[in-house]
Chain A
Amino acid sequence: MADLAVIVLNALGYILVLILVALGLVVVFGMMGVINMAHGELFMLGAYAVVAARGLGVPFWGAVVLAPLVVGAIGLLIEELLIRHIYRRPLDTILATWGLSIALKQAIVLVFGPASYSVTAPMQAALVVGDFSYPVYRLILMAITLAVIAATFWAFMRTDFGLVARAVIARPDTAAGLGIDPRRVNRASFVIGTAVAGFAGALVAPLISVDPQMGLGYLIPAFLSILVGGAGPLAGVLVGGGVIGGADNLLTIWLSPVAAQIAVFTLAILVIRMRPEGILGARDGA
């Protein structure tokens, strides 16, 4: 029973982080119809920001707050120097951001080296209830992630900025005709998306090994979550993230990590093919 609880909680934790990463991705994806192939690297940069900050003696929670600011600033730079120029060329944006991901990975290797780092969690305590024991940090991570996801939804659905952003996603030209500057909206959305990714990376840093390759392992599931979930722009990510993350965790336990990855990707691709509009439907498929 205690084991089952641990499994469920671990799965939930992974799903929540995946959703957070996917949210950052889907906002940009919805805006520009293109995937930022370097999104995983922005996640990675968040983790490395924590590594660097810790190395400078900054306390953990300070580092976690700092990370999205740093990554968001990098996102602003990326938007200004790269994305802006190829905004109307979605396929070229895939390639260019792919090149960016290579450059970012290598930059990290040059600065931090190729080996992995580990970040110690701010607390080692565990919640103990009879047989059941679970690290407190993981619980806090889940709470924070849930809060940020909720905040993102709220910002998107209930604020003026969210309204404007959704309008630009739906009909960019019409929005411009109403006086809305699509460029500024896109830039803001991009920066927010990158900051969220960086934040996710920072939170997750104590739990996994921080190395230059960690981004890809989140990029693909995040993207698959978006495709599988459908609808949108945001609700689908919840469903997709749950399906992909849940399947991955469960299968890893029953089979092996390798088989699980194969199974999950295959499952995702099958779903996308059978139902291009995603599980929630009502979205323009591929």
Chain B
Amino acid sequence: MAPRLLALAVFAAVGLVPIAGDAYLTGQFARYVVYGLLAVSLSLVWGRGGILCFGQAMFFGIGGYVMAALTKGMGPGWLSSTYAALTFAIAAPAAFAALLGFFLFRGRGLAGAYLAIVTLAIALVLERLMSNWYGMGVYNGLLDIPPLDFGLFGAHLEIWDETAQLYIALGFAAAVYFGLDRLMGAPFGVLVTAVRTNPRRAEFFGYDVLWVKLAVFVIGAGVAGLAGALFVSYDGFASPTLIGFGLSTEVLIWVALGGKEMLLAAFVGAIVVRLMESYFSEFLGGYWILALGLVFMASVVLLPRGLIATPIAALAARLRRAGGG
């Protein structure tokens, strides 16, 4: 658990980007922050909840598509406002997660490798589904998605500007991060950890493992859906790649590289990896992905707690020893 100060520092640092960089960089960072939010959702579900979900992007994609469809007016008119659409974009994947989770975790539940494969299979199925769903634009997806509009009572406050995009994303990310931090620090968080490390024993103590897992899974899905909704509003289009295998793999890498047990490390991991990708893939071309795969393998073997989380944890331990003794 990184000290709150460090988290604030990270958010502040990202907040400085519009000042230090140009509009293009700011826009990129807005997307990175959104990806970071997705990473946080997986870190919650996997690192804290112990649910190895190979298809976390499906919730991102569902949130994105719901947001896209509603704001484009494909649903009822009263749902096309940003507020309503956002709410549904969070609720829909959460509901899906509840159903899915109930099915997967009930009774003897799936775990470990089995869960990983099944969630991967589901992600693939969903990707194919969206690619073939005519109403949702098949392979091309939905285009011309309107930007976020925070206006009220008929007024409009459309978010076109990259700086605004960044700060809004950052705002959501910070709110989610500190909210989850609070939640994980509370008894609920302890319960989640207990269920992750020893589900049998938690059951013997009378806790309903299913509900704890569901809760974590659903919250994670909601956060991922929020990220997806923001993403499509910034990019202006939603496609099946958002829901599928490729993005699920990427977020897994971000979180594993950053540090799955530390929400902040996952957040930073996503940003750092995407940043490096945009920088390196230019002159490394196809070798970037190869390098990433190799670094990922090395990190799993050598630093399983994460490239970013390990030094942070070590630093925190040293500070604690110095401060408290």
Direct contact of A and B (CB under 8 A): yes
CB within 8 Å: A-B pair count: 112
Q: Which of A90, A95, A109, A276 lies in contact with B256, CB distance below 8 A? A: A95
Chain B interface, number of residues (Cβ within 8 angstroms): 41
| Closest-CB distance, A252 to chain B (whole angstroms) | 13
State A268–B245 Cα separation when bound (angstroms).
Answer: 19
Chain B's nearest CB lies how many Å from the CB of A38? 10
Name A269's contact: one of B121, B293, B304 (CB within 8 Å).
Answer: B121
- Considering only residues 90-126 of chain A, those with a C-beta below 8 Å from chain B are 90-92, 94-96, 98-104, 106-107, 109-110
One digit per residue, 1 when the CB lies within 8 angstroms of any chain A CB and 0 when it does not, for chain B 91-121 equals: 0000000000001101011111111111011
Which residues of chain A have C-beta atoms less than 8 A from B290's C-beta?
Answer: 103, 106-107, 110
Q: A92-B300, A106-B289, A106-B290 are in contact. Are A286 and B114 (CB under 8 A)?
A: yes
Cβ-defined contact, A258 with B116, below 8 A: no
A66 touches B (CB below 8 Å): no
A104 to B297 alpha-carbon distance, docked (Å):
12
Nearest B residue (CB) for A270: B103
Question: Interface majority SS on B: helix, strand, loop or mixed?
Answer: helix
How far is it, in angstroms, between the C-alpha of A276 and the C-alpha of B111 when the chains are bound? 12
**Are A103's CB and B293's CB within 8 A?**
yes
Beta-carbon contacts under 8 Å, A203-217 to B: 216
User: Separation in Å of the B273 CB from the closest CB of chain A?
Assistant: 13
Contacts A102-B293, A262-B125, A265-B121 given: A273-B256 contact, CB under 8 Å? no
Residues from chain B with Cβ under 8 Å of A227 in the complex = 114, 117
Residues of B248-302 whose CB lies within 8 A of A: 249, 252-253, 256, 286-287, 289-290, 292-294, 296-297, 300-301
Distance of A273 Cα from B110 Cα, bound (Å): 8
Given contacts A99-B296, A216-B245, A258-B128, contact A110 B52 (CB under 8 A): no
Q: Are A106 and B286 CB-contacts (below 8 A) given A92-B300, A96-B301, A100-B293? A: yes
Q: Are B286 and A265 in contact (CB under 8 A)?
A: no
Contact: A98 with B129, CB < 8 Å? no
Instruction: Report A41 CB to chain B, min CB distance, Å.
Output: 11
Distance between A203 CB and nearest chain B CB, rounded to angstroms: 25
When distances are taken between beta carbons in the complex, the residues of chain B under 8 Å from A33 are: 113
Instruction: Report the minimum CB–CB distance from A108 to chain B (whole Å).
Output: 10
Partner of B297, one of A90, A96, A285: A96
Q: Which of B125, B245, B253, B301 contacts A92 (CB 8 A)?
A: B301
Does B132 make an interface contact (CB < 8 A)? Answer: yes
Q: Are B289 and A85 in contact (CB under 8 A)?
A: no
Q: When the two chains form their complex, are residues A94 and B109 in contact, meaning their CB atoms are under 8 A apart?
A: no
Q: How far is the CB of B300 from chain A (nearest CB, A)?
A: 4
Query: In the assembly, what is the distance between CA of A266 and CA of B300, in Å?
Result: 31
- A262 near B110 (CB under 8 angstroms)? no
Measured between beta carbons, the chain A residues less than 8 angstroms from B176 are none
Candidates A98, A110, A262, A285; contact of B128 at CB < 8 Å: A262
> Chain B's nearest CB lies how many Å from the CB of A269?
6
Q: Shortest beta-carbon distance, A257 to chain B, in Å?
A: 9
**How far apart sit A90 and B113, CA to CA, in the bound complex (Å)?**
8
A273 to B118, CA, bound (A): 11
B300 lies within 8 A of A86 (CB): yes
> Which chain A residues border B256 with CB–CB below 8 Å?
95
Across the interface, which residues of A come within 8 angstroms of B52, CB to CB?
Answer: 91, 94
Chain A interface SS verdict (over half): helix
Contacting residues of chain A (54-97) with chain B, CB-CB under 8 angstroms: 82, 85-86, 89-92, 94-96
Q: Give the chain B neighbours of A34 by CB distance below 8 A.
A: 113
Bound together, the chains give a CA A101 to CA B104 distance in angstroms of 26
Q: Which of A103, A216, A262, A272 contacts B294 (CB 8 A)?
A: A103
Given known contacts A90-B112, A91-B112, A94-B52, A223 and B122 CB-to-CB distance under 8 angstroms: no
Q: Contacts A82-B297, A106-B290: A273 and B249 contacting too (C-beta < 8 A)?
A: no
Is B249 a contact partner of A102 (Cβ separation < 8 A)?
yes
**In the assembled complex, which residues on chain B have CB atoms less than 8 Å from the CB atom of A85?**
301
| Complex Cα gap A224–B125 (Å) | 14
Residues of A246-279 whose CB lies within 8 A of B: 258, 261-262, 265-266, 268-269, 272-273, 276
Say yes or no for A168: interface residue by CB 8 A criterion: no
Please, could you name 19 A-B residue pairs with CB atoms under 8 Å apart, sorted by A?
A: A85-B301, A89-B304, A90-B112, A94-B112, A95-B256, A96-B301, A98-B249, A99-B300, A100-B293, A100-B297, A103-B293, A106-B290, A216-B124, A220-B121, A223-B117, A262-B125, A262-B129, A269-B122, A286-B108
Listed from nearest, the 7 A-B pairs whose CB atoms lie closest are A103-B293, A99-B296, A102-B293, A99-B297, A286-B114, A106-B290, A96-B300
Residues of B within 8 A of A (CB): 52, 103-104, 106, 108-118, 120-122, 124-125, 128-129, 131-132, 245, 249, 252-253, 256, 286-287, 289-290, 292-294, 296-297, 300-301, 304
The chain A residues found within 8 Å of chain B, CB to CB, are 29, 33-35, 82, 85-86, 89-92, 94-96, 98-104, 106-107, 109-110, 216, 220, 223-224, 227, 258, 261-262, 265-266, 268-269, 272-273, 276, 285-286
